[in-house]
């Protein structure tokens, strides 16, 4: 077993020039991901018609509590089940709202509802649902349709795991190719194999000239 392991490691070292190929697949994925617009921003502004109602004032003072209201979450859950396919429904709705939605005032004093996330269809549903909640409070009207924009970036944290997975798959494919080449190679791997195949005693062997040449070059360089 140690002999075969040593021989396999020697085969890997002989093909180390192939190692950069392992990075091709993850680098291709990262390049495509960097060129693609994957972060979406949806904003809905509102105009205040008259004096703000207490419910709106409370929502602006504590937007997180207003967005995560249990009654609203239950109604939103039913709406998402009605309009979105199962694979697009969030597993933890409250965490999604907490990390993607915000309610604030613009520099002109207008309420603004903002979604920042990776699913524009889901973001549109969230903006529409909470916009209806705001306008239902009274004294508010939507200031036109929602504004949509998309952004790209060289790196995002969620790309780490796919890149590592692709690197592992590439490394596994490299090791598999080397293993198959070694298994399909009909040449003798040791003097013992040759003697066993021929049925004759081994009287002597010639050294590996490549190894001798590399060693002599190393010695001359060190001197």
Among the ranges given (8-12, 26-30, 75-79, 114-118), the one the predictor scored with the smallest mean pLDDT: 8-12
How many domains is the chain built from?
1
4: in domain: no
210: in domain: no
Q: What pLDDT is attached to residue 184?
A: 79
3-state secondary structure of 104: strand
User: Would you put residue 155 in left (φ > 0), alpha (ψ -120 to 50) or beta?
Assistant: beta
CA-wise closest residue to 121 among 94, 151, 83, 152: 83
Q: What pLDDT is attached to residue 37?
A: 95
88: in domain: yes
180: in domain: no
26: in domain: no
Contact 134, 56 (CB under 8 A): yes
48: in domain: yes
Q: Residue 1 — pLDDT band, cuts 50, 70, 90?
A: low
What single DSSP character describes residue 17?
G
The boundaries of the domain holding residue 129 are: 37-151
3-state secondary structure of 166: helix
Q: Model confidence over 147-197: pLDDT tens digits?
A: 999 999 999 999 999 999 999 999 999 989 888 887 777 776 666 666 776
209: in domain: no
Can you give the CATH number for the domain in which 83 is found? 3.30.70
Average pLDDT, integer, range 92-113: 92
109: in domain: yes
Contact 111, 56 (CB under 8 A): yes
Residues 92, 71: Cα–Cα separation, whole Å: 16
pTM of the model: 0.73
Q: Model confidence over 71-98: pLDDT tens digits?
A: 999 999 999 999 888 888 888 999 999 9
């Amino acid at each position: 077993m140690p002999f075969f392991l040593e021989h396999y490691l020697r085969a890997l070292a002989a093909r180390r020039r192939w190692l950069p190929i392992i990075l091709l697949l993850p680098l291709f994925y990262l390049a495509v991901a960097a060129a693609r617009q994957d972060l979406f921003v949806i904003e809905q502004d509102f105009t205040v018609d008259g004096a703000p109602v207490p419910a709106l004032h409370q929502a602006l003072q504590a937007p997180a509590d207003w967005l995560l209201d249990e009654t609203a979450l239950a109604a939103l859950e039913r709406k998402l089940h009605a309009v979105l396919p199962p694979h697009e429904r969030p597993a933890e709705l409250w965490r999604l709202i907490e990390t993607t939605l915000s309610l604030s005032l613009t520099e002109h004093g207008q309420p603004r509802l903002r979604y920042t996330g990776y699913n524009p269809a889901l973001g549109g549903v969230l903006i529409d649902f909470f916009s209806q909640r705001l306008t239902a409070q009274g004294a508010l009207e939507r200031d036109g349709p929602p504004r949509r924009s998309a952004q790209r970036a060289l790196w995002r944290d969620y790309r780490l795991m796919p890149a590592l997975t692709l690197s592992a798959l590439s490394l596994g494919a490299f090791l598999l190719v080397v293993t198959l080449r070694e298994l399909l190679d009909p040449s003798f791997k040791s003097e013992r194999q040759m003697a066993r195949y021929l049925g004759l005693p081994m009287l002597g062997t010639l050294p590996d000239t490549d190894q001798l040449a590399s060693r002599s070059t190393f010695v001359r360089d060190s001197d």
